[in-house]
Structure 1
């Protein structure tokens, strides 16, 4: 299947698939050991790190069996078995403790469980020698065979050794760099200047393997043992010797030449090698003239890498550079130089291919190895590719047979059902290729390019390709590749995805391994590894796996699962990723649910029907409206806990006692075990007491329309003497029961009306009553005519006399005199109030200048007390004035003044003048200052002189009113 995301990583396969596993374990440096696990996706990030208890500054050798299990390792002088113990006879080997490539281990070509260790000494002073290891000895832990130990092939050589498989066989070649006239018994003379190769042979079918004692004769040098190198390489002791994985190229690196008195040349030189016959060739292409220590080829042998480093150990100013060359075009190699890394504080060190196709770079004195992805024209150096702590990197890494890493083409994505990419090395030089993918599919391609084939089934396939390059050369390549079963993430049982935070800690521990069986489905658990991650990127990169017991916070978290084929040696691991959601819910809980209170009905029996379904909104709000929660009611706590005997909420619930407790269960709908319970009090409240007020009867008042306004709240204290309830008034019982349409406080009643009263407690319980309001009609009253004062002989001219009773019959207006009472008043207010009634004979002083006034009649029903009023006018007429003809001002109390009764009372603007017989005015007065004449003049020459003489005097009264004729007459004064 196609993975969710394809990680484009190239994995390089060798011609000998099993041989590659021999490089699984590396033991090196200071207590450093890593395992390139056959299933790299099982690593946490990179190869497994282990403390080895081993210490070696430079070259080491390590070997694993065909299954990748560690067998033994060596620093060139001592051999340790896989348990870290020194092998029997495993000390005293001739390898140098400070040699660039102190040892390389080769598997015997035809002898099972036999290995050869080839060692070189320090600083060009030691031999190239070999020792034989037989693993069946010491109970399978292996021993160094005493008779085949330190067999010298070259008496003295540089700190360089390399090996490759002989083409078409299991044999191998081992090579070194030494003096041209050196032999196994003679160090030779002069500087190191020649290459030598020895064949490690086996006789097929015999179980016999051995090392040829003599070097392979070099035809280009007259079949001499040595192949001469350029003079500039003389005495090049330190630095690596490296043969390409395809066996066709060889590089000699010199980091600090001159230890034998030579020219102290440095640099790196490229030669050709024929892995079919062991022949060196080429003039030696100088790649660099600087101090070169580490060199390595890419698995396809297309790219060559070396460092430039002068320092033995890093300092703050030391420097190390990494350089790449493309070897596809021999005429363009130098021009292809690419210096892609400049490392401050770097030091010299080994470069070594790993099983994952990367080149690893030592980092002296650190707990990291750097790396390069080599099959690209634009390589990138990663300084922290592998954390080897607690180990520490030094200068050396294990030396292996480079053929283990050879690949004629690169393969990308070896997963069943995916498109597997095939790319030839030196692709720009390819003119055409014809592919046989080993599954029945073939493909012919013109020009360079990546080709693809999709394998329907997992298995090992032999892929062959016939390649024609642009120069017309034709070559055939064959390579076995393995297609691995692709992982499929099967769905996870959704019932396992929901959890409950039952301890209210804010999270829940979830065992992720419970999902593994679902994810695997029918896939083989031994073949596929399952890991869980918090992000898609982590799942795809197989980083930061979650612990099996994953602490999931309340809420929903996305978990990514990765299923990877653990038999696949590629980083992608034929993996698939998918996700599922884990939900941790809080335990639903609620407390202090408000009592569910209902008011008793008129039966007052304490039994009511409770709408429990409707009350859920109150519970939800009290609980904080949690999501994914369902609610049920139960009669007992046990029933709520066990989720039994749920109360049917589709019908009202009738209580049996008050208060009565029922229990609500809050159930998380995602997790059956996630619930909470709480009690609810069902309470039937008593009806409030209510007092019925007295009926109200009122008389119609002005205007007499049969209606009257009432302040209803005046009845509140009568209805609810406690003052604790809310009292409201209605014109129907239904409104009073519902509380709808309350009457305004000031309410107008016409005739007779029943008023309904509602008294409601703060809890909403209420009771009702009613009372009557009657507006009684006012009696009909007659409108009496005007009434004039009486001017008969009995009238005192100083007063007005009215006989009011003459109006009674008209006021009664036909009503019975025995049933009604009539009274009269001077003001309407008195008439309305019924106060200050006038006597039937109404006498008042004359009111000068006033011709009329109003009186008010009140007709009152003797039974109801209701009354009506009307008004009529009283007219003040002037009574006839009698002028006296004389008076006697002698102070006897009888007629002492000229008194004119009614004058001043009836006329308010008159003037009076009295004349003597001579016509002189002796007295004058007026209404405004009227003083009766007492015989004493107040005008004229006699004014104030005493009484006037007896006699007749004349007077004139002017009324100063156009409608009234003035009066002129006489009066006699006598004493």
Structure 2
């Protein structure tokens, strides 16, 4: 009989050899930590942690929930947060996914094993170190360190109880010979090491499987029941296996594809009942491999998925519970039955909070994922969370027994429910609520809002056999459920009124029933409102109106029944909804024209509709004081009050027809619907900017400027000039900027700007010109003081005032013959006048023929006059250098005679000393 009892108890509790309190303290991330209350399961942040880890970490507490030590896989800290003696240089790594896990030595409360795995960079393999928590005056000491078990392994490790009698434990990892990524040697061998009261058995159980896993990163987790193994691999995907906790064998591999672009799984965790698998998967991993900047937060995205392991097609059962901008996340089951999610912003930075799956045994959204569920104060969660022996969290007894596979039970305010444990003869039942002992001692307990056990909380039962001899080493069977009482939601009888647009079917129209939501119940994200034809259907939650947003009533003043259901608890209330129809009408409304936009005068404008509300209300001439006006693009939208608009950009240039709806504010009763015609008026067509010139040398004469209206009569507009005048034209005699506002009959205006710039005749610079003479290309360059040379043109007149070079834009004249000229400079933009200046280009003839034929009879320099170089000295020499003549520069010239004698044909030399000091030496020819 005792054996039978022992078998029954073991069957009920599985192999749960250790209490959940050993997972009460977590240290992780950037000096972050949390503590679980051993009675209530409440969570509070810890700020005394010493580790700063990107990923790997591990913690362990005693059976009372008191911290023993924690590590990042490299350094071991005791309960006082000091480094243990010999606690440095363990061969884990803070960048290893699961750098460490702590396993107690069975039946020895003082000895613990820290199993470590290195990172992709260090590749130190699987090692273990021994911690004696009784040493060093109870502060602990690392006794043996870094005993190697495998030379190469992935960044993954997990543990589960092997045998409830001996409390032995399996520690399992995944081996690799090839490093981070390989295409030659797959990671296809699992190593399971047994830890018993004899220590670590260094001969593993190997499971080599036909799988292709090529990377190290990602979590490895055994289910609390010890029957399933999940392996997340950022590059090689998600794999699920069966695990035999009796033999340590891994078998039946199954790869689960993730149906999302964020298909790089990292974190995994099983529900407490081992029937659901949760996975976090990201999009970030390959970015860092190819050298992209992986630390930009907006580049990362992470999803949280749930798989139903009881489904016929597990892969197709996947549901996304959360999808957001986030980096890689670990998942870890807590002693309170919730699964926590690390929140890392980037590869290097964390976030000061944790997410939580509040009901992880529940399918779909009922699992209730809450982001930022736990605040970590000033410290940050990064990518990793500490792993534990998964048997710590094994669900044992289902005390709800409602078929929902969840330890959460919502109840309505007048519900009564019986929590039921296994009825094991000869056993004692200890019931608690949030850690407080209850007087109940039977195997069942009745909870009711109006009964003895009426408070929400976590109810727990422990079955303690009266004959303690039969108590096995796994502890007493137990079960728990979280009960939450809910009030019935608010549901108020109300009415909904709609306009009747088709008077041929009086009282029949189309309603948007959802408009009644706020009148029926207080708005809430956790309630659902449905509409039914009968109270019976509403009570049973069946035959709800399928499309309440577009509902045509079946008769005037129809009565429907509304059911308001609290989504989580299922508690509901019923109210009535009366559908009333108004047959009143409102007139077509023609709005005052609005002016086209100045920046884009195309008749397409963003029209503000709110200003028309008062005009429409005044136009109705009704006594209703609480009306409101709404605007819509279509008649259907106006009828169903969908897509209300407050502004609209018209699609037809210069006009648009919209719809307006008049209703009461107090009860949303529709008074009437009709069209509103909008008109956009064209702006005045004018030349907006123009420039004129005023000749300041003509002051006080005036010039005329005007408003430049195009394609219309100037009489159709009013004018407001900046100088105060109001006519179409004005007279001005002052350079300035003049503006005029041109306004049409509807008040639409456009502004014209007239810039009047000063202009005048040119003024010559000093010097006024540059002369190049005595050359083969004589030239004159004219200099004036005005900045804008474009306003002037230049011409040359000969000594007889005949045009020698007509007006040109250039101020340079080239290829000039020697002589006396007049420079003319003309202002051309406003014809302000011409200024003149004489100029001389000096030269000489190359030959002369003194034969009295009237042509070239004398030789004389050209360009010298009484005005130009009159004191010039001229001497003529023969080829032998003999002075034969001195000329008066203002005289008639040399006629070829000396002392009355004709000189022969020949070349003769001259020397000219100009008045300006220049000396010119050259020669000419005398010929007959």
TM over 0.5: no
Q: TM-score range by the shorter chain?
A: 0.3 to 0.5
After TM superposition, the score normalised by the length of structure 2 is: 0.41
TM-score by length of 1: 0.39
Q: Which has the larger radius of gyration?
A: 1
Kindly indicate whether structure 1 or structure 2 has the higher relative contact order, using CA contacts under 8 Å at least 6 residues apart.
1
